[in-house]
């Protein structure tokens, strides 16, 4: 597995619906990460830290469970890591280890209300969670291993994702001792995060993200080992606020104040520490606009504060796995601003996760940068005209069935299963675009809405889709822009809507489509049925223009160039390992002797010695019979003769040239070894022609002559597949004779021939040798050899047991068979293997 993401989950594990749904988000820790193995050397020291007051009524400090990670050298600057909602300090162990390895003292602690820490959840309230964090910083100030700027003021950064990210920002805005911040996928304003409102200017309370909020809340309710209670580990005021929102979609003034106090927005004007802000594109909980607000508020209040905005491919919905890149960036940020490390630029970074369809979701995302973030609407919005007519859309009673645009927290499922019940949406299309365009930010559309009757609560969801030339509709990340109106009647109302922020490329031929839907399953929908009319108040769709970002292209890894020397090295190695021809290669004094075999042996790794130290010569012009029972080593000897088998010892010379695989001298030799072999799909004649061309010999193949010897007649033009055993054998002998080579080596040539053909073959071989050529024939048929050969070599068990002219061996007037049995003995006349 890759390194843990930069706080909060931005990886791409496709969480399943149900129980796993919650685990897929950064808000809630994946169950599998509960026990993180920690390297022995950097093993954390567990501590308990006294935090802020338990509650307004109980000033006893909560007890926070923490882990302290120490770097190899101290004193060193410190980093506090806050975990995501529902998790605990162990979730951030991988990041803690990475930071400790980078030279920081790291303190990871479990927030109140979670894990082993006491207290109740107050959603990062200044009096509780933020006070806890300040106590943690004070604890660091008293830790001897931590570098201090002043007494009681440690050199410290704070980082976290999601719930922890908000804490990091809130702490940085309320504690001057913080020197650097890195906050990922978190909120700027809790109210606008949970009550989505994309109508501009806002004002009206947004549509409640019931799915997300419910998921969120459920985790806080859970108390392992305890009985189920209405509020679980939540502080009572938060519990009640949730109940009101979830049952009625409303927010009291007190609830709104509660949320405002827990929103970084309340303190961003006071943040002067270097701040790294991350946001995910696959995030329907805390959309990009939240991070942009934080970024703009900090830079507006303190223009000289280094603030970097990174819009990556991850988020609470899953998205692209950029955890490793982000973890490295966060470490670099802390090193630059706490430890005097190399500076990190404050360019805006945006990831393009789209691209060609079917492309691997695991491919490296393309990251583009811009020196300055141009704002959500882009520097200079480009209009494109939409067409479409007023469309009546129905809001179903009870809000069901509802469109499904994304499954919050479900990762890879998001956007894939977008579906919308009929009659609930209106669509407005642009003409095909004429230039390739890169969109980074929020497109803006102005709608004209009305209702057939007066309605008090209206929810609509707008989405930008890209319709490609082939008709495929792509809804980037499946995000929707919720719009809520408190009332709507027959009189037209204009609503300007910021569509979800996207980072995508639009190609020539694509059309843009704005879809307005009455339902979305992730939101709390009005229960009263209604019919609305949706039209464009302004035909123009304003696209965020982002000049200077067009050329983002995924780089080709320079490591690939290593492949070239690697491949050359392999080729060189193979070349060095090639077998060398044995020496001496030539024996000129033997150039007139067709075959010289000296001390030849062959043994196999497993098995008997097939040929055991044989030595003999074959003079020119003879027909030599290689005689022996089955398994005597005849075929093995012939295979070595043709360079098919490497001898274990000894040497073979043909016409004075040493035989080795592919030796040139083999071109003076024709052979038939262990039966003929032909291409079955070609005729006998074509087989011989192709074989001759394959030998590369330039002399006359004497095709007619050898075909005549084979005696195939008209069958020579039939496919070899149809041949009988005897025909194949004859064609094999003919192939061996192609070009009338000086030496003919035939292994059991009479196999499969009938008696008249055997007799004919006998004459052919005699004639062949009579012209001064040499024939070596192996056989186990003694009478055959007796009649054909002038010379004979008798082999048994891999050894030469007798040799000489046939006439000499038969000097006593015996038949060769008797001579043979006299030498070999009876036991081997029946075959025994090879």
Partner 1 sequence: MTASPHVRSGTVLPVRVELARQLRRPRTLVVYGLLVLLPLIVVAAVKLGPSASSDPGSRRFGGGSLDLVGLATSGAWNFCITMLFFATGFLLVLVTAVFLGDTVAGEAQWGTLRYLLAAPVPRGRLLGVKLVVGLLSTAGGLFLLIVVSYGVGLLAFGSGPLASPAGGVYDGWDAAARVMVIAVFIMLSLLFTAGIAFLMTVSTDVPLGAVGAALIIVIVSSILDAIEALGDLRQWLPTDYTNAWVGALSPQIDWSQMARGATYSAVAFVVLVAVAFVRFARKDVLS
Cα 248 from chain centre: 46
Nearer to partner 1, 16 or 38 (CB): 16
Task: Tell me the residue ranges of DSSP E strands in 76-166.
Answer: 78-82, 105-109, 148-150, 153-154, 156-161
**Interaction pattern, residues 400-419, with partner 1; x per rule: CB under 8 A:** --------------xxxxxx
Cα 178 from chain centre: 40
Tokens 């020196």, residue located: 371
Residue list 474-493, contact with partner 1 (CB under 8 A): 474-478
Cβ atoms of 678 and 715 closer than 8 Å: no
Residue list 330-389, contact with partner 1 (CB under 8 A): 354-360, 362-364
Among 42, 691, 766, 829, the residue binding partner 1 under the rule CB under 8 A is 691
Nearer to partner 1, 44 or 732 (CB): 732
Tokens 């509780």, residue located: 128
By CB under 8 A, residue 318 contacts partner 1: no
Helix (H) or strand (E) holding 695: helix 684-695
Which stretches within 27-113 are classed as H helix? 93-101
Among 623, 669, 715, 764, the residue binding partner 1 under the rule CB under 8 A is 669
Cβ atoms of 172 and 178 closer than 8 Å: yes
Among 162, 671, 729, 774, the residue binding partner 1 under the rule CB under 8 A is 671
Judge residue 89's burial from the number of C-beta atoms within 10 Å of its C-beta, 0-12 exposed, 13-18 middle, 19 or more buried.
Answer: buried
By CB under 8 A, residue 571 contacts partner 1: yes
Nearer to partner 1, 249 or 321 (CB): 321
By CB under 8 A, residue 579 contacts partner 1: yes
Among 131, 183, 466, 652, the residue binding partner 1 under the rule CB under 8 A is 466
Tokens for 113, please give them: 């209300």
By CB under 8 A, residue 741 contacts partner 1: yes
Nearer to partner 1, 680 or 822 (CB): 680
By CB under 8 A, residue 17 contacts partner 1: no
Using the contact rule CB under 8 A, the part of the chain among 73-81, 130-138, 253-261, 500-508 near partner 1 is: 500-508
CA atoms within 13 A on the CB side of 260: 8
CB of 704 to partner 1, least distance (A): 18
Using the contact rule CB under 8 A, the part of the chain among 22-30, 173-181, 367-375, 666-674 near partner 1 is: 666-674
Which stretches within 715-790 are classed as H helix? 725-737, 755-770, 782-788
By CB under 8 A, residue 399 contacts partner 1: no
CB of 193 to partner 1, least distance (A): 23
CB of 659 to partner 1, least distance (A): 9
| Rg of the chain (C-alpha set) | 44
Among 176, 243, 385, 436, the residue binding partner 1 under the rule CB under 8 A is 436
Among 742, 748, 784, 786, the residue binding partner 1 under the rule CB under 8 A is 742
Residue list 697-716, contact with partner 1 (CB under 8 A): 697-699
Nearer to partner 1, 178 or 475 (CB): 475
CB of 412 to partner 1, least distance (A): 9
Cis peptide before 584 (omega within 30 of 0): yes
Among 35, 694, 771, 830, the residue binding partner 1 under the rule CB under 8 A is 694
- DSSP states of 306-326 as a string? -EEEEEES-STT--S--HHHH
Among 448, 468, 603, 617, the residue binding partner 1 under the rule CB under 8 A is 468
CB of 739 to partner 1, least distance (A): 6
Nearer to partner 1, 300 or 562 (CB): 562
Cα–Cα distance measured from residue 382 to residue 360, given in angstroms and rounded to the nearest whole number: 32
Residue list 144-183, contact with partner 1 (CB under 8 A): none
Closest alpha carbon to 273 in 301, 293, 252, 247: 301
Cα 325 from chain centre: 16
Using the contact rule CB under 8 A, the part of the chain among 108-116, 327-335, 384-392, 466-474 near partner 1 is: 466-474
CA atoms within 13 A on the CB side of 790: 15
Torsion angle, alpha carbons of 266, 270, 276, 277, to 10: 20
The terminus-to-terminus CA distance of the chain in angstroms comes to 55
Nearer to partner 1, 554 or 724 (CB): 554
CB of 590 to partner 1, least distance (A): 11
Cβ atoms of 61 and 2 closer than 8 Å: no
Closest alpha carbon to 816 in 830, 828, 827, 802: 802
Among 226, 491, 574, 830, the residue binding partner 1 under the rule CB under 8 A is 574
CB of 490 to partner 1, least distance (A): 31
Using the contact rule CB under 8 A, the part of the chain among 100-108, 169-177, 295-303, 643-651 near partner 1 is: 643-651
By CB under 8 A, residue 283 contacts partner 1: no
Cis peptide before 401 (omega within 30 of 0): yes
Q: Phi, psi at residue 215, to the nearest 5°? A: -60, -45
Tokens for 833, please give them: 């293997």
Calculate the alpha carbon distances from 761 to 303, 524, 573, 710, 779 in Å.
105, 99, 49, 9, 14
Which residues does 395 contact at the CB level (< 8 Å), separation at least 6?
424, 458, 459, 518, 519, 525, 526, 528, 529, 530, 531, 532
Q: Give me the residues paired with residue 799 across strands.
A: 796
Tokens 């990886």, residue located: 11
CB of 568 to partner 1, least distance (A): 9
By CB under 8 A, residue 429 contacts partner 1: no
Closest alpha carbon to 828 in 805, 808, 801: 801
Among 14, 61, 341, 752, the residue binding partner 1 under the rule CB under 8 A is 14
By CB under 8 A, residue 676 contacts partner 1: yes
Among 145, 528, 601, 695, the residue binding partner 1 under the rule CB under 8 A is 695
By CB under 8 A, residue 631 contacts partner 1: no
By CB under 8 A, residue 690 contacts partner 1: yes
Tokens for 722, please give them: 């149809």
Among 149, 176, 385, 646, the residue binding partner 1 under the rule CB under 8 A is 646
Cβ atoms of 24 and 336 closer than 8 Å: no
Residue list 71-110, contact with partner 1 (CB under 8 A): none
Among 17, 34, 45, 508, the residue binding partner 1 under the rule CB under 8 A is 508
By CB under 8 A, residue 675 contacts partner 1: yes
CB of 417 to partner 1, least distance (A): 7
CB of 478 to partner 1, least distance (A): 6
By CB under 8 A, residue 737 contacts partner 1: no
Nearer to partner 1, 94 or 113 (CB): 94
Nearer to partner 1, 681 or 815 (CB): 681
By CB under 8 A, residue 517 contacts partner 1: no
By CB under 8 A, residue 725 contacts partner 1: no
Cα–Cα distance measured from residue 153 to residue 147, given in angstroms and rounded to the nearest whole number: 9
By CB under 8 A, residue 754 contacts partner 1: no
CB of 669 to partner 1, least distance (A): 7
Cα–Cα distance measured from residue 372 to residue 41, given in angstroms and rounded to the nearest whole number: 42
By CB under 8 A, residue 434 contacts partner 1: no
Residue list 590-609, contact with partner 1 (CB under 8 A): 591
**What is the total count of residues that contact partner 1 (CB under 8 A)?**
100
By CB under 8 A, residue 21 contacts partner 1: no
Cα–Cα distance measured from residue 135 to residue 128, given in angstroms and rounded to the nearest whole number: 10
Helices 93-101, 323-338: axis angle to 10 degrees equals 50
By CB under 8 A, residue 589 contacts partner 1: no
Which residues does 71 contact at the CB level (< 8 Å), separation at least 6?
100, 101, 102, 103, 104, 105
Among 573, 704, 771, 830, the residue binding partner 1 under the rule CB under 8 A is 573
């Amino acid at each position: 597995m890759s390194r843990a993401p930069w706080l909060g989950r931005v990886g791409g594990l496709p969480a399943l619906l149900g129980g796993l749904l919650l685990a897929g988000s950064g808000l809630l820790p994946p169950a599998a990460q509960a026990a993180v193995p920690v390297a022995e050397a950097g093993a954390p020291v567990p501590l308990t830290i006294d935090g802020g007051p338990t509650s307004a009524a109980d000033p006893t400090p909560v007890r926070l469970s923490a882990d302290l990670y120490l770097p190899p050298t101290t004193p060193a600057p410190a980093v506090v890591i806050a975990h995501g909602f529902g998790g605990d300090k162990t979730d951030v162990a991988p990041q803690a280890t990475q930071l400790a390895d980078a030279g920081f003292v790291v303190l990871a602690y479990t927030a109140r209300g979670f894990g082993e820490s006491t207290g109740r959840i107050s959603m990062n309230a200044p009096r509780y969670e933020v006070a806890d964090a300040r106590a943690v910083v004070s604890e660091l100030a008293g830790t001897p291993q931590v570098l201090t700027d002043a007494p009681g003021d440690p050199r410290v950064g704070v980082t976290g994702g999601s719930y922890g990210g908000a804490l990091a920002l809130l702490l940085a805005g309320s504690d001057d001792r913080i020197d650097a911040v890195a906050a990922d996928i978190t909120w700027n304003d809790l109210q606008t995060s949970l009550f989505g409102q994309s109508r501009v200017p806002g004002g009206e309370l947004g549509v409640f993200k019931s799915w997300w909020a419910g998921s969120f809340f459920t985790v806080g309710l859970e108390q392992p080992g305890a009985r189920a209670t209405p509020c679980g580990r939540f502080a009572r005021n938060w519990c009640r606020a949730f109940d009101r929102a979830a049952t009625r979609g409303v927010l009291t003034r007190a609830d709104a104040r509660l949320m405002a106090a827990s929103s970084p927005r309340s303190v961003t004007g006071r943040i002067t520490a270097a701040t790294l802000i991350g946001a995910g594109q696959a995030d329907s909980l805390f959309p990009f606009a939240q991070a942009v607000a934080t970024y703009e508020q900090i830079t507006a209040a303190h223009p000289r504060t280094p603030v970097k905005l990174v819009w990556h491919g991850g988020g609470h919905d899953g998205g692209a796995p950029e955890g490793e890149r982000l973890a490295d960036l966060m470490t670099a940020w802390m090193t630059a601003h706490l430890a005097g490390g190399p500076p990190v630029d404050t360019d805006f970074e945006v990831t393009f996760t789209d691209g060609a369809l079917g492309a691997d979701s695991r491919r490296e995302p393309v990251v583009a940068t811009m020196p300055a973030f141009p704002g959500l609407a882009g520097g200079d919005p480009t209009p494109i005209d939409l067409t479409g007519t007023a469309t009546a859309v129905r809001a179903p009673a009870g809000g069901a069935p509802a469109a499904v645009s994304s499954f919050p927290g479900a990762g890879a499922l998001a956007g894939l299963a977008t579906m919308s019940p009929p009659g609930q949406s209106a669509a407005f299309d642009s003409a095909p675009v004429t230039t390739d365009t890169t969109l980074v930010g929020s497109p803006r559309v102005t709608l004209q809405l009305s209702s057939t009757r007066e309605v008090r609560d209206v929810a609509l969801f707008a989405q930008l889709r890209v319709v490609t030339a082939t008709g495929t509709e792509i809804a980037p990340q499946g995000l929707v822009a919720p719009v809520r109106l408190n009332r709507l009647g027959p009189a037209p109302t204009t609503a300007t809507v910021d569509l979800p922020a996207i980072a995508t490329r639009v190609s020539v031929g694509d059309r843009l489509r704005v879809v307005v839907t009455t339902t979305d399953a992730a939101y709390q929908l009005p229960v009263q049925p209604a019919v609305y009319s949706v039209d464009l108040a302004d035909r123009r769709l304003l696209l965020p223009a982002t000049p200077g970002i067009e050329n983002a292209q995924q780089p080709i890894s320079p490591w690939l160039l290593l492949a070239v020397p690697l491949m050359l090295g392999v080729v060189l190695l193979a070349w060095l390992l090639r077998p060398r021809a044995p020496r001496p290669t030539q024996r000129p004094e033997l150039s007139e002797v067709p075959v010289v075999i000296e001390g030849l042996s062959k043994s196999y790794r497993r098995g008997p010695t097939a040929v055991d130290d044989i030595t003999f010569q074959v003079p020119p012009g003879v027909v030599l019979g290689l005689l022996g029972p089955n398994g005597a080593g005849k075929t093995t000897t012939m295979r070595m003769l043709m360079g098919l088998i490497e001898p274990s010892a000894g040497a073979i010379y043909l016409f004075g040239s040493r035989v080795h695989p592919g030796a040139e001298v083999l071109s003076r030799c024709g052979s038939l070894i262990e039966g003929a072999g032909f291409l079955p799909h070609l005729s006998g004649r074509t087989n011989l022609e192709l074989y001759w061309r394959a030998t590369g010999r330039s002399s006359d193949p004497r095709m007619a002559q050898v075909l005549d010897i084979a005696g195939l007649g008209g069958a020579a033009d039939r496919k070899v597949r149809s041949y009988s055993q005897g025909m194949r054998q004859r064609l094999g002998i003919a192939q061996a004779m192609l070009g009338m080579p000086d030496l003919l080596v035939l292994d059991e040539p009479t196999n499969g021939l009938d008696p008249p053909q055997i007799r004919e073959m006998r004459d052919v071989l005699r004639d062949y040798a009579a012209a001064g050529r040499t024939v070596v024939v192996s056989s186990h048929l003694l009478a055959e050899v007796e009649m054909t050969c002038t010379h004979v070599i008798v082999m048994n068990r891999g050894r030469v047991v007798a040799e000489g002219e046939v006439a000499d061996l038969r000097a006593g007037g015996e038949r060769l068979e008797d001579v043979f049995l006299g030498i070999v003995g009876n036991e081997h006349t029946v075959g025994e293997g090879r």
